[in-house]
Chain A
Amino acid sequence: MRTQEQQGNIDIPVLAVTAILVGTGLIMVYSSSTILAMKSYGDFFFFVKRQLLWSVLGFTALWFLAHYPYSHLRKWVRPALFVSALLLVAVLVLSIGKTVGGARRWLSLGPISFQPAELLKIVLVLYLADTLARKGERITSFVQGVLPSLVILGGFSVLLLLQPDLGTAVIVIAVGIVMIYLAGARFAQLVSLGLAALPVVFLLIYQVDYRRRRLDAFLDPWQEPLGKGFQLIQSYLALGSGGLWGRGLSESQQKLFYLPAPHTDFIFSIVGEELGFVGAFGLLLLFGFLIWKGLAIARRCSDDFGKLLAAGLTVLLGLQTVINLGVTTGLVPTKGITLPFISAGGSSLFFSLVAIGILLSISRCAPEEET
């Protein structure tokens, strides 16, 4: 196992696109949340200030990680996994867990609160990259190669489902499966695994009432435009009234208490309403560029851990993006997943920037096979 200490330059386009996304996020959070913020907290800038603070913290972490050799992260994997598990349990058990909207996802530490689930996603990717890189040829064996990772993934998914946080559990499992696939597992194994998991997913959804309602609403939102289908229809109305060029920045009507969560899960609907198809498609291109660059870094990297880590982090961000956009456009049932860099939410923004920081660190490893 080689460790790269040679210091190449960090990937400037990735950093630039990240900065543009975070900047866009700040503007959109401002535009979509001021009236809500004024009403709820008596302060127009309540959410923007928080978002700004977290982006400063996030970029600091990014800068640090970008200059921290990513291979050194391997020694932190197991303690981090342990801490994550501890925090998740703490959220469930201790009274410090803050209940929001019927779910216990936050840990309150004085003035700041954060979601351990956001930390966990990064840590799990780190763990998988580490452990899968060690497996080598053994990955083709189900029991020795795939099963241990699946057990860890399964265990954390159960913790997440207890919060309950189906969205993150789905993301974590999906990212895990992609990473196991990248690590060389046989395709057929994964497919059969996926088929075996289907009844479990079905049960999970249909046993919990609100998830079933979400699914029903997704299948036919117009059935109950004021009930189950309300949020999705309001999202359609926002996107639809944007048209080609949009109503113009800050001109959204739907953010005026029609569209629930206009600054978090459904911020993309407001982007579509205010900036139109042009703006929404532009944002899509930026995310596409970031995903392509992230996976390119993975390909370019010379060691398996780096490859798997870069790919895993990119897939993590990319899947969250695709699922969030799928939800706002009605292609995927409502999940409660934020749009990375854009949605208001400190933990999400911070750990997205942490992921980019690690990615940038990997980008610095010299292209070995390229000429």
Chain B
Amino acid sequence: MHIANIDRRILLVIAGFGLLLTLLTLRLFYLQIVQHQHLSQLALRQQERTIEVQPARGRIFDRQGRPLALNRQSASFYAVPREIQAPDVTARKLAARLGVPARRLARRFKSRKAFVWVKRKVSDKAAQAVRDLKLPGVHELKETTRVYPEGKLACHLLGFVGLDNQGLAGIELQLDRAIRGQSGWIRITRDAQGRKIPASTRVHKRSHPGQDVYLTIDKMIQHIAEKELARCLADTGAQAGSVVVMDPRTGEILALANQPDFDPNHFNRYPPAARRNRAVTDIYEPGSTFKIVVAAAALEEGVFQETDIIDCEQGRGVFDGLVVRDHHPRGRLSIKDIVVYSSNVGAVKIGIRLGAEKLARYAKAFGFGRPTGIELPGEAGGILKPYHQWHRWTATSVPFGQGVAVTTLQMTAAYAAIANQGQLIKPWVVKEMRRPDDIRTKVGKPVYRERVISSRTAARMRKILEAAVNEGTGQKAVLQHYRVAGKTGTAQKPLTSRRGYDPVYHVASFIGFLPADDPEYLIAVVIDGPHGVQWGGVVAGPVFRKITRQLVAYRGLPPGPQKIYAFAREKKNNRYDPRQILSEVPNVIGLSFNQARKKLSASGLQAQRLGQGGQVLGQRPLGGRRTSPGSPVTVYVADPEHAGLTDQTSSQVVVPDLEGQSLRDALQIIQAYGLRAEITGSGLVKRQDPRPRTRVKIGELCAIHGEDPEHTP
């Protein structure tokens, strides 16, 4: 017996399958033929892995092109765990050469990852040792390492970079985007577990090196500042300190030093406190250095003249219940002498006459309470409350620098306004940025902010500050033969735990500039918590003097008449006449050194020899100029056969080409030409400044930089 219609029904099932299979065929056609391009591109995208190629980081130089941050190629080792047959043995061998714990390595080698680091940025010696092992599964990769050839020099400015060459502090962080450059990439075909499939490596994009940065810093000045700051800390036992050297005419920072410091090559070996750029990020109550604000405001507003007298109440005044004391009690003082002898009582009285609102306005105008805008990360704005929030005692304490908090950099900028005709100027550190093809992408320019006081008031303030150095609290800052102006500060440190001030430790500071009448250098020295003597003039003043002494020698700042105000005070009735106190310098060019020395000492001057040889080729100051009695005259001596190189009357010399000479030979040649040499690097001369065949004055600085021919960075 048969089921009815079964064959017809089977035919229907056949038809059904035919329909389904046709549908599947169409679907396959759609996916494999129509969508082929689209889908295979998507597949390719996931099957390729992009490996970043790190660009070479831009270098950092000082204002004269001396390198502060460079790059070095170094070896990094990684492992492909599945290629390692004996993880424990491999780990032990590597551990012995790389100083990584064997157990940690073994654990990595036993992981299921496709890629693990062994150690990155290995020293050349260790790298060779690892290479010699020829371990299977251990591979090498070239990475660039940041190198700071000068070690700790300018560490807080430069900052440092992390393992992946990312800027983490300082200029390295601030300009990271420009310095870092553009990463390139390599695309490598891979499987879903990230393993490279052999023989399919393709480069897609090259990396572009980052931009070079030229700072306004001068390496030599930076070195001087750091050296003197460190010495001061060692002598006084202070915990910390900062020095800022600025060209007040432009706002360029020539040096910025902090203590404690660190080596950016090994930044992680130092505590965070050592890595802080205190001059920029840390605030303190400034004390007496802040008195310039109230004094300048009073002069500008015509509230007082320099000669007006105020009773300073023998160093103890009570204002609205607040007791104010002076360190050096005095009775009646002129406005000038209130600054010169740093009377707090006097400053408060000036402030009261000026009025709190104006005081607040001037403090703000001098740049306090807001960041200066320097190109460095983490800058603090300090604390200056707006006038409507002032406590009745605020107006009493601000005139002598309490109840406000400032950064060293802000103080520097405020003094620069007085040095710079009363105009506030922005401090800056980036002089130039250049692409690898030497095209300048940024050229730093002075940024002048609002006028704070008139240029006349600024000139009057400079005279007062010059007197403060010569007659008052700043006498330790006096530099012979130069006119120096400045102000001391001995500020109390607010306690962090409770109200009130530290009974023992103070912040000792000195901020000054020279030459007093037309300032070229402005130096702020802030020493935090010296032991023993706390006076700003005693602690910070000598640091200022030592720095300026080396600074003027290095930069060749001509000496000026000394102690103008001291002299004027002694002979009150005589008008100042330079001819009476200055000696004329004799011409000694062409003489032997001994003859020259005799001739100079006959005029009451000291001979300072520079160079070696039998004949004087040049001198500074030149014959016929005037200088202070007893001041040094530098004479440049060389062998007579080089005499023809110079033009004796103009005392100029044609700079020789030194490239390729050994540094030792180059030094002798430079001295023979009557120039001073400044040497960096080692090996053969690679760069020189000034360029060959330029005409310069004898006694100018000639900088040469040597590089070892075999390893060029």
Contacts and interface: CB of A to CB of B under 8 A. Distances in A.
A277 B3 contact: no
Contacts of A184: 3-6
Given A183-B3, A295-B14, A304-B2, A240 B38 contact: yes
A90 B165 CA distance: 62
Interface stretch (A25-33, A98-106, A251-259): A251-259
B533 interface: no
Nearest to B112: A39
B460 to A, nearest CB: 74
A331 B24 contact: yes
Given A178-B13, A241-B39, A241-B43, A322 B24 contact: yes
A264 B38 CA distance: 26
A291 B17 contact: yes
A182 B10 contact: yes
A277 B21 CA distance: 14
Interface residues of A, number: 48
Interface in B307-348: none
Interface in A293-324: 295, 298-299, 304, 307-308, 311, 315, 318, 322
Interface string A102-146: 000000000000000000000000000000010010010000000
B32 A276 contact: yes
B6 A182 contact: yes
A272 B28 contact: yes
A242 B30 CA distance: 12
A281 B23 CA distance: 12
Interface string B1-30: 111111101110110011011011101110
A280 B28 contact: yes
B24 A277 contact: no
B96 interface: no
Interface string A211-252: 000000000000000000000000011111111100000000
B594 interface: no
A240 B35 contact: yes
A280 B20 contact: no
Contacts of A237: 39-40, 42-43, 46
A292 interface: yes
Given A236-B39, A304-B3, A318-B17, A277 B28 contact: yes
Contact of A256 (B1, B18, B35, B191): B191
Question: At the interface, is chain B mostly helix, strand, loop or mixed?
Answer: helix
A331 B27 contact: yes
B19 to A, nearest CB: 10
Contact of B3 (A136, A178, A258, A291): A136
B17 A288 contact: yes
A272 B10 CA distance: 31
Nearest to B2: A304
A181 interface: yes
A136 B24 contact: no
A287 interface: yes
A307 B27 contact: no
Nearest to A247: B40
A239 B39 contact: yes
B580 interface: no
Nearest to A178: B13
Contacts of A277: 28-29, 32-33
A35 B679 CA distance: 63
A304 B3 CA distance: 7
Contact of B7 (A139, A242, A291, A299): A299
Given A239-B28, A240-B38, A322 B17 contact: yes
B553 interface: no
A139 B9 CA distance: 15
A184 B12 CA distance: 13
Given A256-B191, A299-B7, A304-B3, A243 B36 contact: yes
Contact of B9 (A181, A243, A288): A181
Contacts of B192: 256-258
B668 to A, nearest CB: 68
Report which residue of B3, B44, B192 has the largest number of chain A beta carbons within 10 angstroms of its beta carbon.
B3
Nearest to B20: A322
A277 B26 CA distance: 11
Contacts of A288: 17-18, 21
Contacts of A254: 43
A329 interface: yes
B557 interface: no
A253 B40 CA distance: 11
Contacts of B21: 284, 287-288, 291, 322
A182 B40 CA distance: 44
B28 A284 contact: yes
B28 A331 contact: no
Interface string B123-140: 000000000000000000
A240 to B, nearest CB: 2
A236 B32 CA distance: 9
A326 interface: yes
B38 to A, nearest CB: 7
Nearest to A268: B28
Report which residue of A240, A257, A288 has the largest number of chain B beta carbons within 10 angstroms of its beta carbon.
A240
Contacts of B27: 329-331
B24 A325 contact: yes
B1 A311 contact: no
A322 B197 CA distance: 35
Contacts of A35: 191
Nearest to A181: B9
Contacts of B43: 237-238, 240-241, 253-254
Contacts of B9: 181-182
B573 interface: no
Contacts of A298: 10
B67 to A, nearest CB: 47
Contacts of B191: 35, 253, 256-258
Nearest to A256: B191
Interface in B643-697: none
A182 B4 CA distance: 9
A253 to B, nearest CB: 5
12 contacts: A136-B1, A239-B28, A240-B42, A241-B36, A241-B44, A257-B191, A280-B28, A284-B25, A295-B13, A308-B3, A315-B13, A322-B20
Interface of A: 35, 133, 136, 139, 178, 181-184, 236-244, 253-254, 256-258, 272, 276-277, 280-281, 284, 287-288, 291-292, 295, 298-299, 304, 307-308, 311, 315, 318, 322, 325-326, 329-331
Given A183-B3, A237-B40, 18 more contacts: A237-B43, A237-B46, A239-B32, A240-B35, A243-B36, A243-B40, A244-B36, A256-B192, A256-B193, A256-B197, A258-B46, A258-B191, A284-B24, A284-B25, A291-B14, A308-B6, A322-B17, A331-B23
Which 10 residue pairs across A and B have the least CB separation, nearest first? A240-B39, A256-B191, A257-B192, A241-B40, A237-B43, A277-B32, A241-B43, A258-B192, A329-B27, A243-B36
